[in-house]
Structure 1
Amino acid sequence: MGSISPFDVPFDELPNPKQVWVGKPGSYEEGLGKLAILTPEVVAKAASTEIKTGRRVTMGWDLTKLNYPNLNRQPCQHKIVPLLGGVAYDDIYTMNPQQSSQWDGLRHFSQTVPGQTERVFYGGVTAEEINDRSNDRIGMQHWAREGIAGRGVLIDYAAWAEKKGITYSTFSTHQVRLSDILEIAKECNITFQKGDILFVRVGVTREWDTVMTDEQKKQYSDNPSPEHAGVEATTDMLRWLWDSGFAAIASDTISWEVYPPQSDVFLHEYVLAGWGMPIGELFDLEALARTCQDLQRWSFFVASVPLNMPGGVSSPPNIMALF
């Protein structure tokens, strides 16, 4: 009998739930992180059970948004340039993937280590390694090699909250609690499976596109202490995310979890730097939510192809859902 994968160990039995690092330094296994659970068998089962109608939606937001980003990030710049005297045209993109729909890669966020002053990334990667452009350890190229594919499930918190009469701004510290997620899953008859890709709709892209004025967007961009609604950061949430066996998590929010942190738990330190699990942010989930509601099913097949950039930190998701 083979040894048990670290990803199959229950959360409460992990030797260190903040450092579930696999693979030799610099290896494909290390760079893959928790995406390793998306085996051909898992993906084939998801495709055969979820693709029934041929309907499909994409989840990439307009690349021009956030057109007023925060944290000194810059909006996407797009230039169209003539080629051969105007016989043809090229275009040039200058962009920070973090400004729009993106996967946070393993090089994006680090964690604290007891007894150390220097923070480390997944696998113990250091900032020095990240800054060394000849070093592509845990870069986006590993995720791009086979892509991210499997069964997706949508928790439509925004629709549920509206039905419950819960009002909030997505640019606040409003929290999506674990109890809310479990109640929504029960109402929608969602059964989670190992290898699922979890999507949580909170309503950021809708609020940005249909509610906020340009002046409000500028105020957000200039705010030195921005607030982002998101999933609560608690040990119970960590335990549930781990024990549910998710391969990746994503939402339409700016930081997935509520920001600034409302407790001493920072999900990014565990999920990205500890488990090697992709975090998707600013996904446009509006068409996905409408399709799920129309079909009365909240599971689907997902296919995503991140940019094949050696040493890349993050990437547009290039993602679609198929029903």
Structure 2
Amino acid sequence: MEHVKKNFPKGLPTLAELAEHNKGKDVPPETAWIWGEDDDIGRINLLTPDVVRAAQQSELKDGKVVSLNWSLEFPKAPSFERSPLKHRIEVHPLNPCIFDDFYDTNSQAGSQWDGLRHFGHVGLGKMYNNLAPADVLTSTRCGIHAISQHGIAGRGVLLDYYAWAHKNGKVYDPTSAHAMTAADLQAVAEDQGVTFKTGDILFIRGGYIKRYHELEKENSARLTELAHEPEFAGVEQTDAMKTFLHDNYFAAVAGDAPAFEVWPRQTEYYLHEFLLGLWGCIIGEMIDLEQLSKECEQRKRWTFFVTSAPLNSPGGVASFANALAFF
């Protein structure tokens, strides 16, 4: 945080303040490479010991634990041409009573974090913190291992957009290009009585996993279509959404669909370019929020303590989520 304080004595800059700060520089005005030239973890820097301790003290009440990890077998036909899980069990050669697992899968095919080496700013041609795309293949800089070694722990916030939309007569299909607006997300937060804090880990439930399992029974052909022609509800690609996601200073953001942002995209840019490439904010996708939403509704409380242990994979692009929520 010392590097931030040196360059921004008034505190963490808003998106508007960044535009002023970046005037005359050969970077997009929204660029927030603010943690120092050697930084590899972006907004995970917000998860300081004080932030983690405060979250633990305020959120851990009754000891209930909820897994946020969808079964590794889902989705059975991943979107974006990714390969499904291949899992086999073999008898260990030492003894017929010993067994080993073998997994062959894409780390981004199920519940996962997009790391900072996954998606850069297309127009600038750079990954987070000025990392050149060519260096992704020749170095470990900004790899998922750096986030793993720091650890992810803090206050989680669930915006149950799916429940809110249905309660307010805005019924939609999560396997359609339904755009969640920044104003609607603010309305969900107000309806739930949530006030954001710096370093929160934001989860948005759009209903994709619920709809996936419905389609398994009702229309499995639609799941095959989605694998080849992805279409999902997600957050809108607009200036208002950029401001909402940036200025609230979430340590990470996540949703339950394969893209987090509405897909197909509805503008010339991807939000991934800003979240990952310019702000260093990792993105969780296909996070299983179904049981979590039930627990939150039961308690009338949509905040909790959350942990995640990404793979300690040097130079890794992404990771299985390995995430838990605690009440």
Q: Distance in 2 between matches of 1:4 and 1:124?
A: 18
* 1:41 corresponding residue in structure 2: 50
Secondary structure in 1 matching 2:253:
strand
Q: Determine if the alignment matches structure 1 residue 110 to structure 2 residue 113.
A: no
* 2:130 corresponding residue in structure 1: 124
User: Is the Cα contact below 8 Å between 2:205 and 2:256 reproduced in 1?
Assistant: yes
Q: CA deviation at 1:67?
A: 0.6
* 2:317 corresponding residue in structure 1: 313
* 1:157 corresponding residue in structure 2: 161
Q: Distance in 2 between matches of 1:56 and 1:201?
A: 18
Secondary structure in 2 matching 1:98:
coil
* 2:64 corresponding residue in structure 1: 55
* 2:75 corresponding residue in structure 1: 66
* 1:219 corresponding residue in structure 2: 225
**What is the 5 A alignment of 1:147-226?**
147-212=151-216, 213-223=219-229, 226=230
User: Is the Cα contact below 8 Å between 1:18 and 1:269 reproduced in 2?
Assistant: no
Q: Distance in 1 between matches of 2:251 and 2:290?
A: 22
* 2:102 corresponding residue in structure 1: 92
- Structure 2 CA distance for partners of 1:222 and 1:32, relative to 1, 3 Å: closer
- Unpaired runs of 5+ in structure 2? 23-28
Q: Distance in 2 between matches of 1:210 and 1:62?
A: 16
Q: Distance in 1 between matches of 2:143 and 2:8?
A: 23
The one of 18, 30, 40 equivalent to 2:30 is 18
The one of 21, 40, 55 equivalent to 1:31 is 40
- The code of the aligned residue for 1:125 comes to L
User: Is the Cα contact below 8 Å between 1:171 and 1:227 reproduced in 2?
Assistant: yes
* 1:241 corresponding residue in structure 2: 245
Q: Distance in 1 between matches of 2:103 and 2:170?
A: 40
Secondary structure in 2 matching 1:45:
helix
TM-score by length of 1: 0.92
Q: CA deviation at 1:19?
A: 2.0
- The code of the aligned residue for 2:313 comes to M
Q: Distance in 2 between matches of 1:249 and 1:220?
A: 23
Secondary structure in 1 matching 2:108:
helix
- Unpaired runs of 5+ in structure 1? none
Aligned residues: 312
Secondary structure in 2 matching 1:211:
helix
The one of 279, 282, 289 equivalent to 2:283 is 279
For structure 1, which segment, 276-285 or 69-78, has the greater mean C-alpha deviation from structure 2 after superposition? 69-78
* 1:79 corresponding residue in structure 2: 88
Q: CA deviation at 1:4?
A: 5.0
- The code of the aligned residue for 2:133 comes to A
- The code of the aligned residue for 2:33 comes to W
* 1:264 corresponding residue in structure 2: 268
Q: CA deviation at 1:5?
A: 5.1
Q: CA deviation at 1:86?
A: 1.5
Q: Determine if the alignment matches structure 1 residue 139 to structure 2 residue 143.
A: yes
Q: Distance in 2 between matches of 1:250 and 1:75?
A: 21
